Amino acid sequence: MKKIFLIAILTLSFSSMSFADEYGHEGISDDNPDLQEMLNYALEDEILAYSTYDEIVKVFDVSRPFTNIMKAEQTHIEMVEELMKKYDIIIPEIDPSDHIMLPVGLVDAYEAGVQAEIDNIALYEKFLEGELPDDVRMVFEYLIAGSENHLTAFERQVEKTSDNFGRNSSNQSNSNGRGYRNR
């Protein structure tokens, strides 16, 4: 009962949330972003990942792999913020709540994790195409490696959950066709 109540409350809370085009990896439109833009997008993306995984943990009452990945995301956030400090870039206040889409079911949450990590890797690969200070390049390469590890963990969970439980029809009942709750 408590879990159903929590899901109902969070569904209402998330009813106004959507994923905006100008945020994190979705915000990159410039083929040649400068260092400040790269670090801002990176910070947004890392905070969005942390916040989304945190909400999934609360709603679905799960821990692994989300809690382990959240610890890594916190480290990623700190690494990006350290670069921002070093290069005298103001660290923006970021509230990702308007950009979170909560998956309908746990399998959808794992699949969303897969896609989020793929998008995260693509973001940093795009940044690595340009000229970067060595320390920034090293951090972006580290973040790619972390996302590759997260991707493997989510892919494993998709396979495990799909094989053991299949897709529950309740996963789709409140869906907008993409595995996310309707607004």
* Distance in angstroms (rounded) separating the CA atoms of residues 52 and 182: 16
Give the pLDDT of residue 16.
30
pLDDT at residue 126 above 50?
yes
- Tell how far CA 128 is from the center of its chain: 20
Domain at 33-173: CATH code:
1.20.1260.10
Q: Write the pLDDT tens digit of every residue in 7-43.
A: 333 333 333 333 334 544 555 556 788 999 999 999 9
pLDDT (mean) for 116-129:
92
Higher-pLDDT residue of 18, 181? 181
CB atoms within 10 A of CB 141: 13
Domain boundaries, the chain: 33-173
Q: Which of 16-30, 111-125, 166-180 has the highest mean pLDDT?
A: 111-125
Between 65-69, 119-123, 174-178, the lowest mean confidence (pLDDT) is in 174-178
- Look over the chain and give the mean of its residue pLDDT values, rounded to a whole number: 78
* Distance in angstroms (rounded) separating the CA atoms of residues 36 and 165: 45
Q: Write the pLDDT tens digit of every residue in 51-88.
A: 988 988 998 888 889 999 999 999 999 999 999 999 99
pLDDT at residue 168 above 50?
no
**Among candidates 120, 109, 124, 113, which has minimal Cα distance to 152?**
113
pTM to 2 decimal places: 0.73
Residue/partner pairs of 80-86 with CB below 8 Å, 24 or more apart: 80/39, 80/42, 80/43, 80/46, 80/139, 81/43, 83/39, 83/135, 83/136, 83/139, 84/39, 84/43, 86/135
